[in-house]
Amino acid sequence: MGRITGAFGVKGWVRIRPFTQTPAGLTAHHTWWIEKDGSWSRCEVEQSQVQGQAVAAKLAGCDDRDAAALYRGREVAVPRSELPEAGENEFYWADLVGLRVVNEAGEELGAVGRVLETGANDVLVVEGDRERLIPFIEEVVRQVDLGGGLIRVDWGLDY
């Protein structure tokens, strides 16, 4: 849902760069899971507020700037069960990662390694015989079959 970028103020607040569609998407949750060295621990959020395109939050037990600085670079997540259901033709990025990508000719392009947000549209980073950047737009993505683990695209092997 985001990444902690550093301390905010002197009273133990942290600043988060949210990966949500809007920063307020992160402030709706009062319990976060925070990553450290590959493992996750539950953390209560005492307060949070939107600060422009970022979020500032006071985490339980984090009471000064030095403690907040230790959180820098850590990922922030919430349990999937707390997220709203995706609407029709809406997908969580995490659901797309790992799906096989095949073009309309049936040629395998690889699998989604990650999704990038750009100013114009989201982009699938497809890892196969080479890395391909495929825009996640209606004109290119013809079908997303989460159950079948497949994304069908109008994209040539030589693009």
Mean pLDDT, the chain, rounded, equals 93
pLDDT at residue 70 greater than cutoff 90: yes
- Tell me how far apart the alpha carbons of residues 24 and 9 are, in angstroms, rounded to a whole number: 20
Among residues 27, 56, 82, the one where a domain terminates is 82
- Distance between CA atoms of residues 61 and 49, nearest Å: 18
| Tens digit of each residue's pLDDT (9 = 90 or more) over 17-53 | 998 878 888 898 899 999 999 899 999 999 999 999 9
At 128, which CATH number? 2.30.30.240
Contact 101, 115 (CB under 8 A): no
* C-alpha to C-alpha distance for 104 and 27, rounded to whole angstroms: 41
Spatial CA neighbour of 157 closest among 110, 92, 90, 89? 110
> Is 76 found in the same domain as 99?
no
pLDDT tens, position by position, 115-143: 988 878 999 999 999 999 999 999 999 99
pTM across the whole model: 0.67
